[in-house]
Amino acid sequence: MNQEKKGKASALLPILVFLVIFLGSGFVTGDFYSMPAIVGFLIALFVAFLQDRHHNFNDKIHIIAKGVGDDNIITMCLIFLVAGGFSGAVTAAGGAESTVNLGLSILPSGVAVVGLFIIGCFISVSMGTSMGTIAALAPIAVEISKKTGYEMAVCIGAVVCGAMFGDNLSMISDTTIAAVKTQGCKMKDKFKENFFIVLPAAVITIVIFLVITRNGNFVMDEPLSYSIWKVLPYLVVLIGALIGFNVFLVLIAGIVLSLAVGVASGTIPLGDIFKVVASGADGKGGITGMYDITVISMVVACIVSLVREMGGIQFLLEFIKKRISGKKGGELGIAALALLVDMCTANNTVAIVMAGPIAKEISDEFDISPKRSASLLDMFTSVGQGLIPYGAQLLSAASLTGLTPYQIIPYCFYPILMAVSGLLFILFIKNRKAA
């Protein structure tokens, strides 16, 4: 059906309106989060309704209802909620703190900054959140900077690098969920494809941090307490997802195990087990912490449905097809699209949700495997998110350390190397067909 429609550039007006409102408010106020994304998307949806004059109101409702009711959108939203429940339960049980302390306790002295990166990788893969990783490790990075004499920017740069590693790869990261569901592939397949693309970037990042911090030393004044039992839920979820178990079952098992560990250790009162799943220990996480991205995903699906109906998606496909050829060109197109949208929205999950349908069309057109397109979407939105000074990750890292994002960016080696590695794989590593 899409191939028969004539592409229209004007059909992209709703998306342009969102970008103008979102970015404009950021430049005017100096705060790129002064405009809640959901408000901008609702305005864009209103514009789409006004712009489409070929359908009556009821027909438009039917069009957007079909878009929101897509299997991938519904599944993605449900996974968001269950992943939030796991995050709330495992954090309340003390899993995040124990994981951090375990990593620092086994660090050899003299490689503290490299250790921050490696621990950040493990925590972000386990927790599925770059923001949570930065919040957990930033205070430790400050302490290491004080004890070793390394620049604060180097230490927090290592944390941001580690956070973006897991934000891109974690089985329970909202970016991974969005990428997998919009492209229609299995999580384990996307992980394997993505992992081998970014592995060289991670290894080179370790080498760079080793070189620039080779003369330092770090020893903890006192031992850090941790419990292997509290780390176990993370391991169960990570291993279960890698093996290929159903993601819902894996996350539910992680929730149950986290609650059991929390109640047994006394960190979660028996009467609060449902509360921590719903809203986390601090009332800001858990399932409710995923409400925003869930609602945004639904509204974006509505916008994309109308934009597609008016010929906007077809226009983008025709525009890209005229400038690229073959699989390599298609992959470069997906990468550029992902990076551009993330730079405009300053939110890699939102960027994937927006770019996902277009990337899927491109991958189908150029016979790119779903796991490859999902990896490229996730990678290049993470590249942007790890480098833009107005992104939540760098703003959070800066606020927690008293630095500015511009002081941290020179040490964000991993996002830069991830982009380089991704481009090299596109240009020189043949795209394998989906199994």
**347-364 pLDDT tens trace:** 788 788 888 888 998 888
Whole-number Cα distances in Å, 227 to 105, 115, 219: 12, 19, 21
Q: Looking at 57-71, 355-369, 388-402, which range is the least confident one?
A: 388-402
Quick check: 165 pLDDT over 60? yes
Give pLDDT, residue 217: 60
| C-alpha to C-alpha distance for 203 and 380, rounded to whole angstroms | 18
Q: What is the pLDDT of residue 147?
A: 67
- Would you say 86 and 172 are in contact if contact means Cβ atoms under 8 Å apart? yes
pLDDT score for 220:
60
CB 182 within 8 A of CB 71: no
pLDDT (tens digit per residue) in 295-325:
887 888 898 889 888 888 778 777 777 777 7
Write out pLDDT tens, residues 8-21: 888 889 888 988 88
pLDDT at 170: 84
Q: How confident is the model at residue 377 (pLDDT cuts 50, 70, 90)?
A: very high
Euclidean distance between CA atoms 281 and 83, whole angstroms: 15
In this structure, are residues 162 and 120 in contact, taking their beta carbons and an 8 Å threshold?
A: yes
Q: Is the pLDDT of residue 140 over 90?
A: no
267's tokens: 């960190």
- At 162 the pLDDT is 93
Question: Mind listing the pLDDT tens digit for each residue in 234-292?
Answer: 788 777 766 767 777 888 888 999 999 999 989 999 988 999 999 887 777 788 888 88
Instruction: Mean pLDDT check: name the lowest of 57-61, 164-168, 290-294.
Output: 290-294
Q: Find the farthest-apart pair of alpha carbons in the chain and give their distance in angstroms, rounded.
A: 70
Give residue 221's pLDDT.
62
**CB contact at 8 A, 288 and 279:** yes
Query: For residue 306, how many C-alpha atoms fall within 13 Å in the half-sphere facing its CB?
Result: 32
* Arithmetic mean of pLDDT, 415-424: 95
Residues 6+ apart with CB under 8 A from 16: none
CB 343 within 8 A of CB 302: no
Are the beta carbons of 352 and 381 closer than 8 angstroms? yes
Q: Is the pLDDT of residue 32 over 80?
A: no
| Residue 269 φ/ψ, nearest 5 degrees | -60, 140
Query: Confidence band (pLDDT; 50, 70, 90) for 1?
Result: very low
User: Mean of the per-residue pLDDT values for the chain?
Assistant: 83
Report CA Rg, the chain.
22
Residue 389, burial from CB neighbour count under 10 angstroms (0-12, 13-18, 19+)? middle
d(C-alpha 43, C-alpha 356), whole Å: 21
Q: Which pLDDT band holds residue 370 (cuts at 50, 70, 90)?
A: very high
Residue with tokens 């974690």: 170
